[in-house]
Structure formats: structure tokens, C-alpha cells
Amino acid sequence: MSEFVPFPAAPARPLAGRVIVLTGAHGELGQAAALACARAGARLVLLGRKVPKLNRVYDAVKALGPEPALYPIDLAGADPSDYETLADTVERELGGLHGILHTAADFAGLTPLENTPPEQFARQWQVNLTARWFLTQACLPALRRAGDSAVVFVVDAPERVGGAYWGAYGLAQQANQGLMRMLHEETAASSVRVAALQPGPMRGALRARAFVDEAALRVPAAAAYAAACVSLLSPEGRVHRGTVHAPSPASE
């Protein structure tokens, strides 16, 4: 009698059945995270302000997992009522909300604070901090109703961006960690998990504005941190609740 050989186990889909809002979906990390989350079974709501780029991410995500939803929005100009509409629409149309991954970022380049145009400072502060909180605040009721949910703030290392010339971007990155810790303490007894992801240096347009002479291949692509995004959004992310997770880059 021949030996029984079982079928290979189906690949793990830790985000199956979960609806995830992803900001900055057409940025380098946003795209990489979107693809990884789709493979993990998530239904994604893709946020961004550049519709043609969003459409390309939509096509790539649709080929890998559940059909995503597009939600064009400019974080620099949206107000709290816009985020309330977004949260209500997502919960009504998709049946719930289980996570937010904040990858959107705005950085114009290294500039002395004294020479930074006020409108540039205001935009960077809005996109990198205020919009994150307004969106999270609007979504908290839906996240609580989900039973198990996660809010993940992607942050930059304060020691890397907290010095001279990093402007509102650097200040907002420092504030993001304070926001994450405060929100964690306020939601610690709830079903909403709050954490931060601090990737290491990675290739992309934002980094290129600060390190213009750097050889591109000296740092990994954003895809090296995509698995960490999935992990923090999934139930296994409980171990990182209330922490700043700074993983080593996965091999590309």
C-alpha cells in the first residue's frame, strides 16, 4: 500500500476577513504594504490623492486578493467631517473596519526652519500628524465594534530626523510616537491595539530628498518591511501593543 501524502497546507492568510484602511497607498511603503496585506487576505481601502497612481495600486492588489476599494483624499486639505464620512462609508459598505495603517508622509527636503514657508510647514504638520489623528479618531467607534482591531502608525526614528533642518516632518515624527503611546494608554483595556512601526532606511522618494547623493542600492526597498505591516495588523501583533516595533529588514 502506498504511503499517504497529505496535500500541502494552504498558505496562511492572517488578515482574511479584515477590512484595512491604508493611507499613502501609492507611496513606496504603501504599495508594498498593500500587496502584502492583499496576499494575507485583507480587504483594503486605498487612500491617496493621486488617482492615476491609486488606480495602478488597485489593479495590482485586485490581482492578489479581495477586491479593494479606492478612496481618493488629500490629507492636507481634509477636515474632521471628511474622515467621519470616510469611517461611516467604510463600515456601511464593507461591513466593518479592523485596522488602519498610516503610511502617508510629506517631506519637501532639508530646510532651515527659519527659511521654511509657513504653508509648507503647515502642510507637513497636517499630513504627518494631524490627519493621522483625525482619521483615527473618526474610525475608533468602528474599530471597537470589530472586536479585535489595530491602529499602526509608521514613524521615522527620532534620532534620525529630530535634528537640524528636518522641519515640520521631523517634529511631527517625534510627536507621532507620543500620540501612539498616549492613545495606547487610553485604549489599553479595549479591543483596539495601537502600535508604531519604525522601518529602517529604505529606498524611496522621501529618502532621496534628504540623501540626494546616496547610492540607491545602499538601502533596502520598502518591500523589506511589508511583512511587518501585516504582522502588526494581524492578531499576532498583540505582542507589540503599545510599542514602537523596529524590525530588521526582510530579505528582498
Residue 142 has pLDDT above 80, yes or no: yes
When comparing pLDDT for 203 and 72, which is higher? 72
Residue at grid coordinates 530646510? 111
The average pLDDT across 19-36 equals: 97
**Three cell numbers, residue 234:** 494581524
Question: Among positive and negative, which fits the CA dihedral 59, 64, 70, 72?
Answer: negative
pTM, 2 dp: 0.92
- Burial of 36 by CB count in 10 Å (0-12 exposed, 13-18 middle, 19+ buried)? buried
Among the four given CATH numbers 3.40.50.720, 1.10.3720.10, 3.40.50.410, 3.30.1300.30, the one describing domain 19-244: 3.40.50.720
Q: What is the radius of gyration, based on Cα positions, of the chain?
A: 18
For residues 204-223, average pLDDT = 73
Are the C-beta atoms of 197 and 154 separated by less than 8 Å? yes
Query: Above 50 in pLDDT, residue 2?
Result: no
Helices (H), 111-222: 118-125, 131-145, 158-161, 167-187, 205-210
State how far the alpha carbon of 59 is from the alpha carbons of 34, 54, 62, in Å: 11, 9, 5
3-state SS assignment for residue 10: coil
What pLDDT is recorded for position 217?
65
pLDDT of the residue at 10:
45
Residue keyed to cell 514657508: 117
Reported confidence tier of residue 216, pLDDT bands at 50, 70, 90? low
- Higher per-residue pLDDT: 51 or 6: 51
pLDDT at 251: 60
Q: Are strands 43-48 and 99-102 parallel, antiparallel or unpaired?
A: unpaired
Whole-number Å distance between alpha carbons of 60 and 43 = 13
Residue 8: predicted pLDDT: 46
Q: Is the pLDDT of residue 239 over 70?
A: yes
Q: In what order do the strands lie in the sheet with 244-245?
A: 69-72, 43-48, 19-23, 99-102, 149-154, 192-197, 244-245
Nearest 10 degrees: Cα torsion 36, 42, 43, 44: -40
User: CA 189, CA 213: separation in Å to the nearest integer?
Assistant: 47
pLDDT at 11: 54
